[in-house]
Structure 1
Amino acid sequence: MINKSVAFLMIFTICLSLYPNIIRANSSDDLQLISQSAILIDEKSGQVIYEKNSQEPLAPASITKIATAIYAIEKGNLNDIVTVSEEARYVDGTRVYLEPGEQVPLKKLVQGLLINSGNDAGVAIAEHLSGTLEQFVIDFNDYLKQTIGVKKTHFSNPHGLFHPEHVTTAADMAKITQYAMKNDVFREIFNTKELPWKGESWDTTIINHHLMVRDSSYEGITGGKNGFVNESGFTLVTTAEQENISLIAVVLNTMYDHQTYEDTTKLFDYGFQQFETEMIATKQFEDENNKQYTVNEDVMFTKKIGEVTNQKVLPSGKLVITGEDGRTIMTKPLTLIETEEASKKLKSEQVTAENQKETEDHLRFIVPISLVIAFLLAGVFFTQTRRL
């Protein structure tokens, strides 16, 4: 009989192997975060470095505007002139004080949306892109699912004001932000500290509401968006980059504003002090059977600082990178390179398969006919035998 301790160790090891994308060894509460939900990912590789309840659906408040901004940048023409509607003018919450009938370039609305958290800018963007808010919600959610690949997100508006069906997760918000940060226009606006704003009823300088962006209190901040409604508590998305790694931190639902910044600082300290991003320069790989593979993009992965890693190509064509302790850091599917020899082998296999299929087809036709002929001959033989 297997010793209970051995059995427990085996089960524990199997359970660990089911979570290869979380590269840390610590539990989800050892940073003592106050936020109900949080996640820290590597912006380049997308790997999860730290998480706490990151799959729990929660109300996001104004960090919704990150998604609205990248949607507008990709789906709209930033030079378009948008006419502001009555509905946009009278939306609740933070505004950039647009007036009905005011004509504003789409890019300026995106700036007002992200920098000053303008809900009126969000409604104007939505109506311009889809005609109505109702149609925008349909188009917006389809984009988030099909283009970005969110799993548990549904947005009922472009700005984040509370709605019972307006929810996301820390993991989905990190994925949305990672996608958005690939766009140069978004990156520029996301990290803008202040911007002169001249409108029909408001001539001012709008200032970024995210404190870490505004005051540069943490080294390497590259952007951020904060949010708050009563039902969501305080929420915060922040991006930062230092010498060896770029990070995205998302924290959801704290009671006080300062707690989101404290948790974000803890996450960044943890990530920058212990992890680094590495790139595999080669574009070609070989498995143990000498099959050649390639990849169309740089292979980025996150590891502990100074850690020696090992890479191997499986017969299935997947690149597997493991750490010093044998844990799987990442897997990536590769594309098989068809060499002349491999091509000949493939054609030979195809010919063999075709011949086999042809033989099977002949048998399907010949066997029934043979049986019928045999049956008829047996009948004739039986008839002649009776006559004798």
Structure 2
Amino acid sequence: MAQNTIKRISALLLLIQVFCFAVPVYAEEAVQAEPNLASESAILMDAQTGTVLFQKNAEKQQFPASITKIVTGIVALEYESVLSNLVTVSKEARGEEGTRIYLAEGEQVSLEKLLYGMLMNSGNDAATAIAEYIDGSKAQFAERMNAFVKEKAGAEHTNFVNPSGLPDEAQVTTALDMARISRYAMQNEVFRKIVATKRMPWVGKEWTSSLINHNQMLKDYEGTTGIKNGYTEAAGFTLVTSAKRDGMELIGVILKSPSKTAVYKDMTHLLDYGFEHYELKQLIAANDSYPFTSSSPAEFIAAEPMWAVLPKGETPAISVTSQGNVLVTSSIGTVDAGTMEPVRTELPVSVASVTPSPEEDVKMAADVQSDEPSGSTKLTIFILWMSLLAYLAVLAYLRLKRQKQERSRGM
């Protein structure tokens, strides 16, 4: 009888242990579910490190539409530092198709004002006027754009033939390229100010009104910092948005979305996913040295802080190569967080021991571990503790029962 009871209790404890380890797995799978998007191409990138957190057909070439103007804007800002310089509007710029800010032929407008009209109100006439001011023609300016995005942002699969995004089969980009371009552009403070502006008055020769930023994320999504939307029949709806929360800024790119509703819904899901599941962490402070043990001589030193984007609650593995590259490995993959500089010593620096030992890896990982355990870890500890209490209670019960039986036989 007692043996049957023990077997039943053992089976129950086994089920409790299985449940204990199964629950965190299912919870983790639910937390990390990626967004389901209606748009054909998309990417989510951390603005500070360039780490890609989500992608869908990110390297498929698509038509950019008016997000082309992101490139026109940053090229103009890096070419001309005197934004008060006047631009004379040509007949071609005046007659440009599509969205306009109604510039008049011969009208003189400051470059700064044209940049606001182009990036906020998506004026194609403003884009052409800027291109002609810098290079004399749209074709020449397009050559500058192509060289610029390749050299400055590493955009390898992008080609422009005009500064506005008007339809052309040769005008293509990818979500990955546009994220890289936007990340570069958002490092320019003047550019950031323009694309974050929601409304400003406009007084022109033929048009007096207020410019209202066409990027609806600025008013609908908390923390939005920029940058540009677009649409043509061939391109569908396109959108690039940057948003910042808790010190982390993300850049989302959506290409070829089927509707205006879908493009903003997809962007919201994309940014929500990033902010909910990832965090930006400083791994190494400025002047930190490697190896990190007091018994080993320093081989490398960090000239500036090093950061990485990590899944919330996850502890990464960190290693340093013989060249000083800091590699961070997590469930996202392995990313290069930056390069430490060799320590200057009178004696030659040995790099034979640069690759950290397992003990050092553990120490480095512990240094960046969250102060609080994750929710799944807390649940596991709780269930294990309850299982132990249940087991001890059963043992006490069996012991009392056995003692009672022995006293009964003795009587």
The answer for the alignment partner of 1:208 in structure 2 is 213
Cα deviation, residue 284, structure 1: 3.8
Q: Can you list the C-alpha shifts for 1:26-77, whole angstroms capped at 9, x where unaligned? A: 9x99421111000001111110000000001110000011111111111113
Moved more, 164-173 or 216-225: 216-225
- Counting only pairs closer than 5 Å after superposition, residues 238-277 of structure 1 correspond to structure 2 as 238-277=241-280
The answer for the alignment partner of 2:196 in structure 1 is 191
Cα deviation, residue 225, structure 1: 1.1
Q: Can you list the C-alpha shifts for 1:335-371, whole angstroms capped at 9, x where unaligned? A: 323321127x99xxxxxxxxxxxxxxxxxxxxxxxxx
Q: Name structure 2 gaps, 5 residues minimum.
A: 1-27, 352-411
Tell me, yes or no, if structure 1 residue 175 matches structure 2 residue 180. yes
Secondary structure of the structure 1 residue equivalent to 2:222: coil
Tell me, yes or no, if structure 1 residue 96 matches structure 2 residue 101. yes
Q: Can you list the C-alpha shifts for 1:266-295, whole angstroms capped at 9, x where unaligned? A: 101100110011123233432497453244
Counterparts of 1:188 and 1:261 in 2: how far apart (Å)?
22
Counterparts of 1:218 and 1:326 in 2: how far apart (Å)?
26
Choose the corresponding residue for 1:319, options 326, 340, 350.
Answer: 326
Cα deviation, residue 260, structure 1: 0.4
The answer for the alignment partner of 2:222 in structure 1 is 219
Return the TM-score normalized by structure 1: 0.77
Question: Contact 1:117/1:209 (CA < 8 Å) preserved in 2?
Answer: yes
Q: Name structure 1 gaps, 5 residues minimum.
A: 1-23, 347-388
Tell me, yes or no, if structure 1 residue 70 matches structure 2 residue 77. no
Matched residue type, 1:303: L
Choose the corresponding residue for 2:312, options 305, 312, 315.
Answer: 305
Cα deviation, residue 138, structure 1: 1.3
Moved more, 331-340 or 248-257: 331-340
Question: Contact 1:287/1:312 (CA < 8 Å) preserved in 2?
Answer: no
Choose the corresponding residue for 1:108, options 97, 101, 113.
Answer: 113
Question: Contact 2:228/2:239 (CA < 8 Å) preserved in 1?
Answer: yes
Q: Can you list the C-alpha shifts for 1:228-263, whole angstroms capped at 9, x where unaligned? A: 111100101111111142111100001211100010
Against the structure 1 CA distance between its residues 270 and 263, is the aligned structure 2 distance closer, same or farther, given a 3 Å change threshold? same
Tell me, yes or no, if structure 1 residue 340 matches structure 2 residue 346. yes
Choose the corresponding residue for 2:42, options 27, 38, 53.
Answer: 38
Counterparts of 1:93 and 1:326 in 2: how far apart (Å)?
41
The answer for the alignment partner of 2:128 in structure 1 is 123
Matched residue type, 1:340: E
Against the structure 1 CA distance between its residues 205 and 316, is the aligned structure 2 distance closer, same or farther, given a 3 Å change threshold? same
Secondary structure of the structure 2 residue equivalent to 1:150: coil
Secondary structure of the structure 2 residue equivalent to 1:166: coil
Q: Give me the identity figure in percent.
A: 41
Against the structure 1 CA distance between its residues 308 and 30, is the aligned structure 2 distance closer, same or farther, given a 3 Å change threshold? closer
Matched residue type, 1:185: V
Counterparts of 1:99 and 1:243 in 2: how far apart (Å)?
45
Tell me, yes or no, if structure 1 residue 278 matches structure 2 residue 296. no
Counterparts of 2:346 and 2:156 in 1: how far apart (Å)?
42
Cα deviation, residue 330, structure 1: 3.6
The answer for the alignment partner of 2:86 in structure 1 is 81
Aligned residues: 318
Secondary structure of the structure 1 residue equivalent to 2:217: helix
Counterparts of 1:227 and 1:321 in 2: how far apart (Å)?
36
Question: Contact 2:63/2:235 (CA < 8 Å) preserved in 1?
Answer: yes
Question: Contact 2:158/2:172 (CA < 8 Å) preserved in 1?
Answer: yes
Choose the corresponding residue for 1:228, options 226, 231, 236.
Answer: 231
Counterparts of 1:110 and 1:178 in 2: how far apart (Å)?
18
Return the TM-score normalized by structure 2: 0.73
Matched residue type, 1:40: L
Question: Contact 1:276/1:304 (CA < 8 Å) preserved in 2?
Answer: yes
Secondary structure of the structure 2 residue equivalent to 1:342: coil
Choose the corresponding residue for 2:51, options 44, 47, 50.
Answer: 47
Cα deviation, residue 113, structure 1: 0.5
Matched residue type, 1:260: V
The answer for the alignment partner of 2:167 in structure 1 is 162
Against the structure 1 CA distance between its residues 25 and 138, is the aligned structure 2 distance closer, same or farther, given a 3 Å change threshold? farther
Against the structure 1 CA distance between its residues 55 and 326, is the aligned structure 2 distance closer, same or farther, given a 3 Å change threshold? closer
Question: Contact 1:278/1:303 (CA < 8 Å) preserved in 2?
Answer: yes
Against the structure 1 CA distance between its residues 95 and 29, is the aligned structure 2 distance closer, same or farther, given a 3 Å change threshold? farther
Question: Contact 2:152/2:184 (CA < 8 Å) preserved in 1?
Answer: no
